[in-house]
Amino acid sequence: MFEVQHRDKQTRARAGLIRTAHGDIPTPVFMPVGTSGSVKGILHRDLIEDINAKIILGNTYHLYLRPGTEVMRASGGLHKFMSWDRSILTDSGGYQVFSLSSNRKLNDEGAVFRSHIDGTKHVFTPENTIDIQRVLGSDIMMVFDECAPFPCDYRYAKKSVALTHHWLDRAVKRFRETEPVWGTQQFLFPIVQGGIFDDLRKLSAEKAAGAGMAGNAIGGLSVGEPADEMYRIVEIVNEILPEDRPRYLMGVGSPVNILESIERGVDMFDCVMPTRNGRNGMLFTSGGIINIKNRKWTDDFTPIDADGPSVVSRKYSKAYLRHLVLSGEILGAQISSIHNLAFYLSLMEKAREKIREGNFGKWKASVIKKLSLRL
Amino acid sequence: MFEVQHRDKQTRARAGLIRTAHGDIPTPVFMPVGTSGSVKGILHRDLIEDINAKIILGNTYHLYLRPGTEVMRASGGLHKFMSWDRSILTDSGGYQVFSLSSNRKLNDEGAVFRSHIDGTKHVFTPENTIDIQRVLGSDIMMVFDECAPFPCDYRYAKKSVALTHHWLDRAVKRFRETEPVWGTQQFLFPIVQGGIFDDLRKLSAEKAAGAGMAGNAIGGLSVGEPADEMYRIVEIVNEILPEDRPRYLMGVGSPVNILESIERGVDMFDCVMPTRNGRNGMLFTSGGIINIKNRKWTDDFTPIDADGPSVVSRKYSKAYLRHLVLSGEILGAQISSIHNLAFYLSLMEKAREKIREGNFGKWKASVIKKLSLRL
C-alpha cells in the first residue's frame, strides 16, 4: 500500500506513495475534510482541477446519522453516492461521538450517544463502525477510539488508552473477518492515543504497531495542548510506528504544525482549518496569514495571492473577497476555501520536492517564519 | 444597441441581439442576479462555462451601501472590482429602497432612507443614482423609480406614476449631461410603472417611449398580482413600447411567466427565483419542478436532470443533492443554483431557436404544461 520513495538526510521527513483502489497518493498529503460527503463550499471539479486533491475525508458519525447506512448501501457506497472516484478516508466517528453528540455513555462494549441532529439514541462499537465503513467503502477506514479531552489527568488517560486498545483488538478482528462490500480493497488504521503522557503514548504506539495494519494514525493531538507538547509526542510515537507504513496525524493543523510534523516523520494530515477558518475570512498565503476582514484590505485591489496555486487566488482581489466575506456572500466562503486548500496542497507538493532534493529542513526553517506572519 | 433578428409569425415573440461594450447578448435573455457583486454561490468561471451568462445584474442600493461608491471608484468600476468582463446591468435601487430599507420617506426630490445594514441615513435621487451607476460603470443603467406596492389603490398609483415620471425626466437630463467614467458606453432604461391600472400603464409606457432611450423596462409586476393581470399589463405596455428597442420585464419570474412574456414581446428578464428557490431545494427541470427535500428522492440515484444543460445537473444524483440540502451543506446551494440558472438560460436559448424557426407559440404551449408540473 505504501512505499517510501525519498528520505530527507537531515530530518525524519520522507516522501512516499500510497496506493489505493482509487488511485495513487503522493505523500506528504493533506486531505480536505468532507465530513458529510461534501468538502464545504467546493465543487468536485474544483477539488480535482484547482486543488488537485487525490484523497478526501468522510465521517462515519455524520454519514451514519444522515443520510444513513441504508441510503449508503443502496447508492453503492460513498464514492458513488457523492460522485467522487478518487480516494476517501473515513474517520470512525470516535472523535465526533465525544465532541458533537450529547448524553454519550462509554462502556466496555462501545459508546451510547444521542444524535446532535434529532436526539435519537445510537450505539457505536468497534465492530459496527467497521461494518458501517465497509458499507461506505472508504479506501482507508479508522478504528473506533476514545479521544480523551485536554487537559486530562493521568488516571483517566490510562484508562482511556486501555479502552481504546481493547476496542482496537475487536476492530482488527472484525476487519479480518469481513470483506469489502464493493469489491475494492480497504485498509484499516489503528489510532495511537495517550494524551501528553510519554509512557502511555509509547504503550499505545507499540499496540498500534503490533496490530500490523497497513498504516497508523496518531489521534488526540491538537486538542488544546501547546504545539511543543504535540511535536514531542509525535517524535516519541514515530520512533515506534513502523517506518514502512504511512503515519497519519489526525486533525492537524496549521501550515507550520504540518511542516514541523513532516519533519518528524508524519505522512498524512487532515484539518478543518483551511475551510472553516477560510469561511471566516482567514487566508493562508506564502507571505503569511491574512484576515481579510481587516480594514486595510478595503481598497487593496491586488490578487488574493499573486503567486497562489489556485486560479481563484490569482483572479480575485483582496478588496473583492473582503467585500464578499463582510457581506456574508457564499462566494466569499467558496473563494477562501478553494484558495486555502490549494495553498495547503501546494505546500505539501513543495515539501515533497524539498524532501526529494534532500534539503527539507533548511527550506522548512526558512518558510515557517513567513507562514505564521500576520499580514 | 439592439437589433431584432427574427420575429415569430404567430406571436409577438422576437429574437434579437443587444450589443454592449462588454459583448453581444442574444435575446430573449435571462440575467442572473448578482445583487452585491456576486451571483450567490457561483464562481465566475461556472457562470461563464456552465451557465453561459452573457450579462448579470448588480444592484445600486447594495453596492452603494457596501462596499460603497469610493471603493467602486478606486477599483475602476464594478467590472474590474468583481473581475467580470461580460456585460452588467444595474438596477437603480428604487425597488430595494422600498423593500429593504427602513424609515424611508419619499418627496419630490427623491427618497430618504435608512440602511438595512447599519441604520445610517441616505438619500437617493434620480441624479445621484445616475452618478453612482456611472461610477459602477454598468453597461445598462436603470432610472430611479417608485415601485408601488400591490395591492395599491388608484389614487396612490396615479401619484406614484407621476413621481416616477418626474424622476425619469431628471434622470434622463443627468444621463445626457454626464459621460461614462470608465470610457465604455452606458445605456439608460426608463421604467414603466402604473400598477394594474391600464390607463396608468399606457400613460407610463408613452412617457418611457417618449424618452427615446436605447431600451425600456417594465417594473412593478410580479409583486403579488395574479399572473393573468401581469400578462394583460405586459400586452398593453408592449403595444406602446417601441418595437426596435429591447423590453426588459423586471423581476420576472418562473419559467412559465417568462415564456408567456416572451410571447408578448419581452426580451430581457431577471429574477432571484432560480438562485433563491434553488438554495431552498426547488429545482426547475425540463420534466417539471422538483422539491428536492421531498422524501421520495431519498434513494433516487438518477441524475438531477439527465438532459440538463449543466455538468452538475448530469453529474450529481437527486439523492446526493437532497442529502446536501437537508444537511445545510453550502454545496447543495451551489449545485441547485448552477442547475437552475443553466436551466433558465438554456430555456432562453431554446425559445430563441423556436422563434427563429417560426414556431414559438406551438412549442411554448407544449412545454409550459410540463414546466409547471410538480414531480
Stretch B349-355: mean pLDDT = 98
> Which of A296, A322, A334 is the best residue to mutate to test the B interface, defined by the most B CB atoms within 10 Å of its own CB?
A334
B288, containing H or E segment: strand B288-291
Q: Specify whether the CB–CB gap between B187 and B20 falls below 8 A.
A: yes
Q: How many angstroms separate the Cα of B325 from the Cα of each of A37, A60, A307, B359? A: 12, 19, 35, 38
Among the partner-chain residues B67, B83, B322, the one whose CB lies closest to the CB of A315 is B83
DSSP type of residue B272: S
Establish, for the pair of chains A and B, how many residue pairs have beta carbons separated by less than 8 Å: 124
Q: In whole angstroms, give the CA distance from residue B125 to residue A27.
A: 61
Catalytic machinery residues of A: 91, 270
With CA atoms as reference, report the closest residue to B178 among B134, B137, B124.
B134
Q: What is the pTM of this model?
A: 0.97
Number of separate helices (H) and strands (E) present in chain B: 15, 17
Is it the case that residue B164 has pLDDT exceeding 80?
yes
User: Residue A83 is nearest to which of B66, B299, B315, comparing CB atoms?
Assistant: B315
Q: Please, are residues A212 and A189 in contact by the beta-carbon 8 Å criterion?
A: no
Å between B18 CA and nearest CA of chain A: 27
For chain A, the residues whose C-beta falls within 8 A of a C-beta of chain B are 36-46, 66-67, 70-71, 74-76, 80-83, 298-299, 301, 311-312, 315-317, 319-320, 322-324, 326-327, 329-335
pLDDT score recorded for residue A286 = 87
ipTM above 0.95, yes or no: yes
C-beta separation of A322 from A297 below 8 A: yes
Does residue A368 come out as left (phi exceeding 0), alpha (psi in the -120 to 50 range) or beta? Answer: alpha
Instruction: Tell me, yes or no, if B131 is annotated catalytic.
Output: no
B126-136 helix and B154-177 helix, angle to the nearest 10 degrees: 50
Q: Which three cell numbers stand for residue B207?
A: 412617457
Q: Strand locations in chain A, DSSP E?
A: 2-7, 14-20, 23-27, 29-31, 55-59, 87-91, 102-106, 111-114, 121-124, 140-142, 187-189, 191-192, 216-218, 247-249, 268-270, 282-285, 288-291
Half-sphere exposure of B42 (CA within 13 A, CB side): 36
Tell me what percent of the residues of chain B surpass a pLDDT of 90.
95
Of A156-165, B101-110, B130-139, B211-220, which range is least confident? B101-110
Q: Quick check: A74 and B40 CB within 8 A?
A: no
- pLDDT for the residue B256: 97
pLDDT greater than 90 at residue B320: yes
- Using CA coordinates, name the residue in chain B closest to A318: B81
Chain A nearest CA to B328, separation (Å): 10
Q: Are residues B72 and A320 in contact, defined by beta-carbon separation less than 8 angstroms?
A: no
- Residue A194 is which amino acid? G
Q: Which of B46, B91, B139, B305 is catalytic?
A: B91
Of A46, A81, A319, the CB nearest to B71: A319
With beta carbons under 8 A apart, name residues in chain B contacting A41: 330-331, 334
Distances (CA, A) of B106 to A124, A289, B144, B154: 63, 47, 12, 18
Cell of A147: 479521544
- Output the CA–CA distances (angstroms, integers) from residue B181 to B59, B174, B175, in the order listed: 18, 14, 12
Q: What is the mean pLDDT of residues B316-340?
A: 98
B36-75 tens-digit pLDDT: 999 999 999 999 999 999 999 999 999 999 999 999 999 9
Over its length of 375 residues, how does chain A's per-residue pLDDT go in tens digits? Answer: 999 999 998 999 999 999 999 999 999 999 999 999 999 999 999 999 999 999 999 999 999 999 999 999 999 999 999 999 999 999 999 899 988 878 889 999 999 999 999 999 999 999 999 999 999 999 999 999 998 888 999 999 999 999 999 999 999 999 999 999 999 999 999 999 999 999 999 999 999 999 999 999 999 999 999 999 999 999 999 999 999 999 999 999 999 999 999 999 999 999 999 999 999 999 999 899 999 999 999 999 999 999 999 999 999 999 999 999 999 999 999 999 999 999 999 999 999 999 999 999 999 999 999 999 999
pLDDT, average across residues B295-311: 96
The model's pLDDT over A172-216, given as tens digits with 9 standing for 90+, comes to 999 999 999 999 999 999 999 999 999 999 999 999 999 999 999
Residue numbers in A near B36 (CB within 8 A): 323-324, 327, 329
Interface test with A, best of B323, B326, B329, B341 (most A CBs within 10 A): B323
User: Cα(A163)–Cα(B150) distance, rounded to whole angstroms?
Assistant: 67
Confidence check: pLDDT of B156 > 90: yes
Confidence at residue A302, expressed as pLDDT on a 0 to 100 scale: 98
CA distance A260 to A332: 30
What pLDDT, on the 0 to 100 scale, is given for residue B347?
98
Contacts of residue B50 in chain A, CB cutoff 8 Å? none
Note the pLDDT tens digit of each residue in A31-46.
999 999 999 999 999 9
pLDDT band at B246 (very low <50, low <70, confident <90, very high): very high
Give B168-201 pLDDT, tens digit per residue.
999 999 999 999 999 999 999 999 999 999 999 9
pLDDT tens digits along B208-238: 999 999 999 999 999 999 999 999 999 999 9
Residue of B nearest to A72 (CA): B299
